[in-house]
Amino acid sequence: MVRKVVRGFYAVAYAVKLCRPAVICAYPITPQTEIVENLATMYANGELGNCQYITAESEFGAASILVGASATGARTFTATCSQGLILMSEVLWNAAGMRLPIVMVIANRSLSAPLSIWNDHQDSMAMRDACIIQVYVENNQEAHDMIPQAYKIAENKDVMLPFMVCMDGYKLTHAYEPVDLLEQETVDSFLPPYDPPIKLTTKDPLTFGCYAPPHCYMEFRVVMQRAMMRAKKVMEEVFKEWAELTGRNWGGLIATDYMDNAETAVVAMGSVVGLVREVVEEMRKDGKKVGLVKIRSFRPFPTEELRKVMKDVENIVVFERAVSFGYEGPVSIDLKSALFGHSNAKVYSFAVGLGGRDIPRDLIRKCINNAIEGKVDEGFHFEGVKEFEEVII
């Protein structure tokens, strides 16, 4: 193992290389571009073995190329975000329905309009219902570690679904952090070559992507839901195996800190977790019974895990990085649904840092304190917003 100070995009690209993908295809989009640029450099230097690296004409094309490649039995990779992810969305729904374990990294970025290249989670949240596994990572080591795990989970015969590793654009992709880079032998011992149970081959001709009239469509959706639910168990097993192999334990579908006897649980996903953890630690030192719940897997949603850990809490504070317009923050929506009938805790939902707005430590502390002290109403709030006058013309 070599510890190096690298940027997030390199940590990801290097891990992808170690997974020996057969086809990589992407279209550049900020702030993802450096991931595929690094892979392109490796390809140009002959470091990717027999891998085919294709620069597509659009993200839509990139996703489509990977559908063809994955169905033919190739391990595939792409990275995208924001407008690119939304452009891919038709194909990604299709890939999930065809049960193709395409692994992609989403360098989370906001959506237009107005145009913004900066970070929030609106892009991946828009893909929430597509039957794609979504794991959000906190730092670049976790991003690096998630790549081999993503392949192992996605390609498990009980799962066979696309996988999105969501890492915050710029905040992680462009951050320099020390990362223990994996060895090829470690990854080879963990991740077997991709050998799908069925594939496109002239030796055994099969029809992929059939159409299903009403008398047979629904069963396809039933098995997709089953695969997602089975993925929970597979993920727990793979996470455990990873911890034993590398000594780095990132937790299960959720990870918790200071949740023993906590009266207030603070929920977050992605890079903001690091900051929230520090604030929780400080508050603990001040004698406040606060704990942290980091949601790692947003799909499948960790319903049982959240019920268990939230059993005795009085307040739940959720930091949202996206909005379900016309309702509230998407994490709170699912959390409340999971806890319905299992908890009487008050849920406070704070949207912070949309479009890359800075998220100061004081803001996090203020939101948690306000909830604990009952200074804000339950429900959904935007925080860190300037005073402004809305003009309706």
Partner 1 sequence: MKFFFSSGHGACPGCSLPIAVKNVLYALEGKCFVVNPTGCLEIISSQYDRSAWGVPYIHSVFENAAAVAAGIDAALKALGRKDEGHVVVFAGDGATADIGIGCLSGMFDRNHDVLYICLDNEAYQNTGNQQSGLTPPGSNTTTTPAGKILPGKIGRKKDMVAFALAHKIPYVATASVAYPNDIRRKVKRAVEFEGAKYIQILCPCVTGWGINSNETIKVARLAVETALYPIVEYENGELVRVRKIKERKPVEEYLKIQRRFRHLFKHPKGREIIEELQRIADENAKRFGLDE
Identity of the residue, 65 or 153, whose beta carbon is nearer to partner 1 in the bound complex = 65
- 267 SS3 class: strand
- Measured from the Cβ of residue 224, the count of other Cβ atoms closer than 10 Å reads 17
Instruction: Confirm if 217 and 223 have CB atoms less than 8 A apart.
Output: no
| Shortest distance (Å) from residue 99 CB to partner 1 | 13
Q: Which residues contact 335 (CB under 8 A, 6 or more apart)?
A: 267, 306, 316, 318, 347
| Shortest distance (Å) from residue 163 CB to partner 1 | 18
Identity of the residue, 46 or 114, whose beta carbon is nearer to partner 1 in the bound complex = 46
| Shortest distance (Å) from residue 64 CB to partner 1 | 3
| Shortest distance (Å) from residue 104 CB to partner 1 | 14
Burial annotation 175-200 (CB, 10 A radius, 16+ → b, else e): bebebbbbeeeebeebbeebebeebb
Identity of the residue, 19 or 372, whose beta carbon is nearer to partner 1 in the bound complex = 19
- Measured from the Cβ of residue 249, the count of other Cβ atoms closer than 10 Å reads 12
Kindly state the DSSP code that residue 290 receives in the 8-state scheme: E
CA–CA separation, 23 and 101 (whole Å): 13
Identity of the residue, 79 or 146, whose beta carbon is nearer to partner 1 in the bound complex = 79
Kindly state the DSSP code that residue 87 receives in the 8-state scheme: H
Identity of the residue, 214 or 247, whose beta carbon is nearer to partner 1 in the bound complex = 214
| Shortest distance (Å) from residue 23 CB to partner 1 | 5
| Shortest distance (Å) from residue 82 CB to partner 1 | 19
- 109 SS3 class: coil
Q: Which tokens hold the place of 217? A: 């469509």
Identity of the residue, 19 or 351, whose beta carbon is nearer to partner 1 in the bound complex = 19
Place of tokens 């918790």: 256
Instruction: Confirm if 59 and 87 have CB atoms less than 8 A apart.
Output: yes
Identity of the residue, 91 or 125, whose beta carbon is nearer to partner 1 in the bound complex = 91
| Shortest distance (Å) from residue 188 CB to partner 1 | 18
The residues binding partner 1 (CB under 8 A) are 22-23, 25, 50-52, 54-58, 60-62, 64-74, 90-91, 94, 98, 200-203, 205-213, 216
Instruction: Confirm if 351 and 321 have CB atoms less than 8 A apart.
Output: yes
User: How far is CA 20 from each of CA 16, 50, 75, 192, 320, rounded to the nearest angstrom?
Assistant: 7, 9, 8, 10, 35
